[in-house]
A and B are shown apart, each in its own frame.
Chain A
Amino acid sequence: MKFDTIIIGGGLSGLIAGIELSRKGQKCMIVSAGQSALHFFSGSLELCGLEDEPAKAMEQLPQSHPYRKIGLDTALTLAERVKPLFAEVGVNFKGNAERNHWRITPLGVLKRAWLTLDEYASVPSDGLMPWKKVALLNIDGFLDFHTSYIAAGLAERGVECVVKGISMPELERLRHNPTEMRSTNIAKTLTGELIGKLAARINEYAKDVDAVLMPAVVGLAGNADVVRLKEKVDRPLHFLATLPPSVPGIRLQMMLKRHFQKLGGVYMLGDTVREGVFEGDRLAGIMTVNHGDTCFKADNFILASGSFFSKGLVSDINGVREPVFGLDVDSLDERPQWYRKDMFEAQPYMSFGVATDVGFHPSRNGQPVENLYATGSVLSNCHPMKEGSGAGVAILTALHVADTILKNQ
């Protein structure tokens, strides 16, 4: 079976690359070994969070950083394409690349963000809290949302929180099984006509507050339930991130995937690439676990297989490996060098990844593979946590590589 481009990895980076290539007429296939890290999505995307202005923050990054390989000017131009691209998929974000705003973490702390989902609570760039008094609601029995942390965090910034729990008979059923009372199962229940009932319950506490904040447990299948709930609640309603799984992250994953498929893309979930078929310096095809002796061929390949969580990188007693093709990896040889004792310091292992040239070509045994590219968190020399750059690197490298492939075709 022959494609123009085959992408290994079906998360944020792989899907963005797939969508960009498909909308320009390429025949693409994505192979994904299980679901992606978007299931842990905070509701916000980060570009570079080291300073208020991403452009300035990016100047602090080393020459080997993926943004530097793209070129900072080009990277910022690519960033302008992201909001419209998501809007086309059906997901609306607020924010811009000129100046970071602040997102509110599940622990009630503010962190810099580039784009935040429209329906989420956020704090403007100047850091001034937009509310004096809010109703902070949770669903009774839901253990993945901790109002006391958030209320304490907001109180420190002068926001008074009225903390309330919501019960509904339909949700009580879920409490039979506390380990499964997860955001997604609540969202599967809180849909359709229950949205009206939920709004009525929320309005009981929304009388004399500036806004209502609640966990993101609505809108798994699409935006419709979110829109309806916001309409029916008397005060401005904003969502806050829960602990995983992330309802808006799963919706984003689903909508990106659907959009990719609508553009003609083939998405293979739950399959693992066993090996690459190399011809000289080129990758000719891939073999997968599910498809036995069928070889999937393409002109170009993108490795967007993620970091350690998604098994794009694997570590064992002998070191760090890239398990799909055995590509060269940037890492440190001595295991004690991988970690710092202070957990809050930048951990060296987080910057490990596939070594690439400036064109994002990985190499095998020192030899670059000319029609293979790597994008997203499998790349080396990026500190997503410290820099606040994970989503930006995933998206911008994907767009950049897609542009390169289209230019060379």
Chain B
Amino acid sequence: MSKDQHTNPESTFEQCMKCTVCTVYCPVVAVNPDYPGPKQAGPDGERYRLKDPLFYDEALDLCLNCKRCEVACPSNVKIGDIIQAARLKYSTKKPKLRDYILANTDIMGGLATTMAPVVNFTLGLSPVKAVMDGVLGVDHHRTFPKYAGQKFETWFKRHAASKQAEFDKKVSYFHGCYANYNYPKLAKDLVKILNAAGYGVNLLEKEKCCGVALISNGFKDQAQSQAELNLSSIRKAVGRGEPVLTTSSTCTFTMRDEYEHILGLDNSDVRDSIMLATKFLYTLIDEGRISLAFKEDYKKRIAYHTPCHMEKLGWAIYSTSLLRMIPGVDFLMLDSQCCGIAGTYGFKKEHYQDSQKIGESLFRQIQDSNVDLVATDCETCKWQIEMSAGVTVENPISIIADALDVEATIKLNR
């Protein structure tokens, strides 16, 4: 298999043999017939668009970029990439103020954390929700993720950075916006596990939002400059011999695949070094290089939900294998299907109904499964499932950290 077939969407559209397998697995076309479906929107439409950009159909905005079409395709056509690239290239719709706000997780997060109590309170008020719905087009059903009072970066510099020098072995951590602004506990949990296993943690020299929301909202130039900044920091870490760990499947997927396929940046020198922390931990355990010890009294029934980008990465096996290692976990694997939120997609008023309909059978499966927790590697899946199925959702890293016997683990890895 030549490398080109996996990286360059333009080289793959001729591979489509019109078998329609992709349309079977498209979550959108199943709930909204106005969407032309991945085959029509992707390889078929591309032929027309190459003749004349006027053939571009604004209904491509309905694609939620889950990439399940690509996972299903027997001919290795990069259907999702073709659609994303077409949206950026041909769409004549200007992004709205709302799209700017939703896409700029960094700017918004930076502002919001400085006055978190006020922001959290205000975003929860129904008159505010009504205004956001009416004026901005952010659906009023949505619950906004809470902002933390202190950024993870700030906490790390004050409380954890100096301790990291004690470790010989080091990794770098790309925390992403969610762990930094909304849920620093996740990032602290990772530091706790890695330190116990004998690894020190460094932050990247500079880190910006991975850019996934910028790409899907049409801000390609800004996405590109943020990606370049991230890649340059990642290169420095990899140059020091440190893999770059993450705790979000979407950031991981974006930096590994979308940077190259959609933004046209060459990341081949560092791509293999960017990985979810669960893959890193599982591999070390599998190779006998570290061991984790778990609390005897940790008992939970946990179901795992495979986020779309995790399905695309193919890495659910690492997160689920780690969860199954915890002796007190009664594990259940949920059917792999889209939860419907797809990042900022489900926040938009025009997509809200479709978003909920897409996730309906997943929510039902969760409600019927009588679990204490749902585990998943994506923060937006977490918001969607918590809001729609009424179950607490945690990242596998947080679950491992809660179940970890820290003292025993430190001893095992000394």
Contacts and interface: CB of A to CB of B under 8 A. Distances in A.
Interface residues of A, number: 40
A177 B21 contact: no
Interface string A173-190: 110110110101100100
Contact of B20 (A174, A244, A269, A292): A244
Interface stretch (A12-20, A210-218, A270-278, A390-398): A270-278
B315 A290 contact: yes
B74 A185 contact: no
Contacts of A268: 314, 317
B23 A182 contact: yes
Contacts of A37: 74
B29 interface: yes
Given A261-B333, A270-B72, A289-B1, A180 B37 contact: yes
Among B6, B24, B283, B286, find the residue whose CB has the most chain A CB atoms closer than 10 A.
Answer: B24
Nearest to B26: A180
Nearest to A31: B314
A288 B34 CA distance: 37
Contact of A250 (B24, B35, B40, B286): B24
B239 interface: no
B23 to A, nearest CB: 6
Given A244-B19, A323-B1, A36 B34 contact: no
B273 to A, nearest CB: 9
B23 A310 contact: no
A301 B33 CA distance: 43
B165 interface: no
A270 B74 contact: no
B111 interface: no
B34 A33 contact: no
B29 A290 contact: no
B33 A180 contact: yes
Nearest to A188: B30
Contact of B29 (A40, A185, A245, A288): A185
Nearest to B312: A270
Contact of B24 (A39, A261, A270, A289): A39
Contact of A245 (B21, B76, B317): B21
B373 interface: no
Interface of A: 1, 33-37, 39-40, 173-174, 176-177, 179-180, 182, 184-185, 188, 244-245, 250, 261, 266, 268-272, 274, 288-294, 309-311, 323
8 contacts: A33-B76, A34-B72, A39-B19, A177-B36, A182-B24, A184-B24, A291-B315, A323-B1
Interface of B: 1, 6, 17, 19-21, 23-25, 29-30, 33-37, 39-40, 70-76, 271-272, 275, 279, 283, 286, 311-315, 317, 333
